[in-house]
């Protein structure tokens, strides 16, 4: 089970809209054209009853926002978290729309969520909550309509229950309705670590082909869940030096680099990275402000804000979490000459392999892991080159450039359909 203790919403959707306006100005996109991207196409809010283990009925609130389907069926994860609210799901569905367009996969964007803390519930209650949510939204999803996936606090087992519920209602197999499934139910090889692998491919490409990343860079990773753990594992296997990592209980630092393999073993046995031998304990705030070459936020939204942005010393920030840098902080970092590789590019490896999973499901023909990774690397590098080209052309930052790439692709689809 994923392990996020706190999600800070801030004004995520307003931030996202400000980023879009900025991209529009830089690329001279007519203000009227952006209208189509200022609001979601469909918002579904549901309230549903679930029987708890003690026999009592409890009501839960859930959402599914389908932001844009201009480029294909909508796609995006389902989050279980006490801080889930419409503003957050709207922002996340907007980012999914842009993310799918940046990596040029034929999807629109969506996101869903249920407002509750799974840590307060038994596994059987979580199963009933997941199944009930699907009963309430099943008419609005489908392999050619809207395809959910895991997000914070949801995992392949939960996807399996959701798929089963959907198939029971529909009366036939439909593995393409949901991605991030267990391999035995049609999941794709490589999906589990694909988000991290996609970000790692970008970092490696930048190191080999640009002068932004120095030799033997020092790296700090915030978060040691699905994304942070695999990111640390892959980079250390490739010979990179990870000097600090953290989870919700705090962080650890060693200037000579951490033994990630043994650290993963400790995380699995003790549930935290804190207390790993030969390391200094640091706070999450201190981790963000370490003097490293690359900082990789892989936990939550709004971690770098106007309050701490001027203390960030890392030269490169690779956003593996969604929305870890606020709009104001982004401006401060840019002014200070930092390079921020935005979430909609950096963490798009997950949705890319979700797309591969869906393609395999629709064809009933499954690929070997090497084929998945080969195709993933091509998609990520090609997206990086597109964004880099726009950085150069518009003399702008990577986030604005990625927004321009995505917005232009979405607006082109809307125009071709006659909606613009
Ligand atoms: P996860 O729940 O598996 O892991 C989150 C990690 O963050 C955990 O190690 C947790 O202990 C840590 N954490 C919680 N509070 C913290 C705090 N205050 N300071 C530092 N660390 C803290 O989640 P995940 O799947 O790894 O997702 C992490 C981020 O990446 C989220 O923003 C998510 O939306 C984004 N993301 C995930 C995927 C994916 O495929 N899993 C894809 C794209 C984006």
Which CATH number goes with the domain that contains 207?
Answer: 3.40.50.720
Per-residue pLDDT of 225-262, as tens digits, reads 999 999 999 999 999 999 999 999 999 999 999 999 99
Is 314 within the bounds of a domain? Answer: yes
CATH number at residue 93: 3.40.50.10860
User: Is the separation of the CB atoms in 85 and 111 below 8 Å?
Assistant: no
**CA nearest 55: which of 124, 158, 134?**
124
Domain count, the chain: 2
Nearest residue (CA) to ligand 1, atom 30: 321
**What does the pLDDT read at residue 15?**
84
Per-residue pLDDT of 310-368, as tens digits, reads 999 999 999 999 989 998 999 999 999 999 999 999 999 999 999 999 999 999 999 99
Catalytic residue at 267?
no
CA distances from 55 to 47, 48, 281 (A): 19, 16, 44
Is 227 within the bounds of a domain? Answer: yes
Is 97 within the bounds of a domain? Answer: yes
Find the distance separating the first CA and the last CA of the chain, reported in whole Å: 43
Q: How far is CA 21 from the centre of its chain?
A: 22
Q: State the distance from the centre of ligand 1 to the C-alpha of 388, rounded, in angstroms.
A: 27
User: Is the separation of the CB atoms in 287 and 265 below 8 Å?
Assistant: no
- Choosing from 277, 312, 341, the residue where a domain stops is 341
Nearest residue (CA) to ligand 1, atom 29: 321
Average pLDDT over residues 119-142: 98
Q: Which helix (H) or strand (E) holds 399?
A: helix 398-417
Per DSSP, the three-state class of 55 is coil
- Choosing from 284, 316, 341, the residue where a domain stops is 341
| Domain match, 244 and 272 both | yes
Which residues have C-beta atoms less than 6 Å from ligand 1? Answer: 2-6, 151-152, 195, 222-228, 246-248, 284, 298-300, 320-322, 347, 350
**What does the pLDDT read at residue 420?**
85
Could you please report the per-residue DSSP string of 189-226?
TTGGGHHHHHHHHHHHHHHHH-SSS-SS-EEEEE--SH
**What does the pLDDT read at residue 300?**
86
Q: State the distance from the centre of ligand 1 to the C-alpha of 225, rounded, in angstroms.
A: 5
Q: Is the pLDDT of residue 45 over 80?
A: yes
Is 162 within the bounds of a domain? Answer: yes
| Domain match, 152 and 206 both | no
Q: State the distance from the centre of ligand 1 to the C-alpha of 262, rounded, in angstroms.
A: 20
| Domain match, 122 and 243 both | no
Q: State the distance from the centre of ligand 1 to the C-alpha of 24, rounded, in angstroms.
A: 30
pLDDT band for position 67 (cuts 50, 70, 90): very high
Is 305 within the bounds of a domain? Answer: yes
| Domain match, 198 and 168 both | no
| Domain match, 200 and 333 both | yes
Q: Is the pLDDT of residue 3 over 70?
A: no
| Domain match, 208 and 318 both | yes
Domain encompassing residue 98: 39-175
**What does the pLDDT read at residue 12?**
82
d(CA 212, CA 294): 10
Q: Is the pLDDT of residue 63 over 50?
A: yes
Average pLDDT over residues 185-204: 97
Q: Is the pLDDT of residue 97 over 60?
A: yes
The catalytic residue among 22, 75, 99, 111 is: 111
Q: How far is CA 154 from the centre of its chain?
A: 13
**What does the pLDDT read at residue 6?**
33
| Domain match, 210 and 289 both | yes
Is 20 within the bounds of a domain? Answer: no
Average pLDDT over residues 113-128: 98
Residues in the chain: 420
| Domain match, 217 and 169 both | no
Could you please report the per-residue DSSP string of 249-270?
TEEEE-TT---HHHHHHHHHHH
Q: What percent of the chain has pLDDT over 70?
A: 98
**What does the pLDDT read at residue 1?**
37
| Domain match, 152 and 207 both | no
Which residues is 245 bridged to in the sheet? 221, 252
Is 228 within the bounds of a domain? Answer: yes
Q: Which of 152, 200, 357 gets mutated to test ligand 1 (max ligand atoms within 8 A of its CB)?
A: 152
Is 154 within the bounds of a domain? Answer: yes
CA 393, 16, 348, 401: dihedral to nearest 10 degrees?
Answer: 0
**What does the pLDDT read at residue 351?**
97
- Choosing from 175, 202, 217, the residue where a domain stops is 175
User: Is the separation of the CB atoms in 63 and 116 below 8 Å?
Assistant: no
| Domain match, 105 and 145 both | yes
| Domain match, 226 and 106 both | no
**What does the pLDDT read at residue 408?**
98
Q: What percent of the chain has pLDDT over 90?
A: 94
| Domain match, 59 and 153 both | yes
Nearest residue (CA) to ligand 1, atom 17: 248
Q: Is the pTM of this model over 0.85?
A: yes
């Amino acid at each position: 089970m994923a392990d996020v203790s706190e999600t800070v919403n801030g004004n995520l959707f307003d931030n996202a809209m400000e980023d879009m306006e900025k991209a529009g100005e830089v690329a001279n996109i007519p203000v009227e054209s952006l209208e189509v991207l200022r609001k979601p196409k469909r918002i579904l809010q549901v309230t549903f009853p679930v029987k708890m283990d003690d026999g009592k009925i409890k009501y839960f609130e859930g959402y599914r926002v389908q932001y844009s389907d201009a480029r294909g069926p909508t796609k995006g994860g389902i989050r279980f978290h006490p801080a889930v609210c419409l503003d957050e799901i709207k922002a996340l569905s907007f980012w999914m729309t842009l993310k799918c367009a940046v990596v040029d996969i034929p999807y629109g964007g969506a996101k869903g969520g249920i407002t509750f803390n799974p840590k307060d519930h038994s596994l059987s209650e979580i199963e009933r909550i997941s199944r009930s949510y699907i009963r309430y939204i099943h008419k609005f999803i489908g392999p050619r309509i809207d395809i959910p996936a895991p997000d914070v606090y949801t995992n392949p087992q939960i996807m399996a229950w959701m798929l089963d519920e959907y198939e029971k209602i529909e009366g036939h197999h439909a593995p393409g309705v949901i991605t991030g499934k267990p391999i035995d139910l049609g999941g794709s090889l490589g999906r589990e670590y694909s988000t991290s692998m996609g970000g790692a491919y970008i970092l490696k490409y930048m190191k080999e082909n640009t002068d932004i990343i120095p030799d033997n860079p020092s790296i700090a990773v915030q978060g040691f869940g699905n994304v942070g753990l695999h990111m640390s594992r892959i980079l250390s296997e490739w010979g990179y030096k990870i000097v600090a990592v953290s989870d919700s209980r705090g962080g650890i630092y060693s200037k000579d680099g951490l033994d990630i393999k043994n650290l993963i073993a400790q995380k699995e046995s003790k549930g935290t990275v804190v207390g790993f031998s030969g390391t200094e304990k640091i706070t999450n705030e201190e981790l963000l402000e370490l003097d490293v070459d690359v900082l990789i936020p892989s936990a939550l939204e709004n971690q770098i804000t106007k309050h701490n942005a001027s203390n960030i010393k890392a030269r490169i920030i690779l956003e593996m979490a969604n929305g870890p840098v606020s709009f104001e902080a982004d401006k401060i970092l840019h002014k200070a000459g930092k390079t921020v590789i935005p979430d909609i590019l950096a963490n798009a490896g997950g949705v890319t392999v979700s797309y591969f999973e869906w393609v395999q499901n629709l064809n009933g023909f499954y690929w070997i892991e090497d084929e998945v990774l080969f195709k993933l690397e091509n998609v990520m590098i090609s997206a990086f080159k597109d964004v880099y080209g726009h950085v150069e052309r518009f003399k702008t930052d990577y986030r604005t450039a990625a927004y321009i790439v995505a917005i232009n692709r979405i607006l082109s689809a809307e125009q071709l359909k006659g909606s613009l």
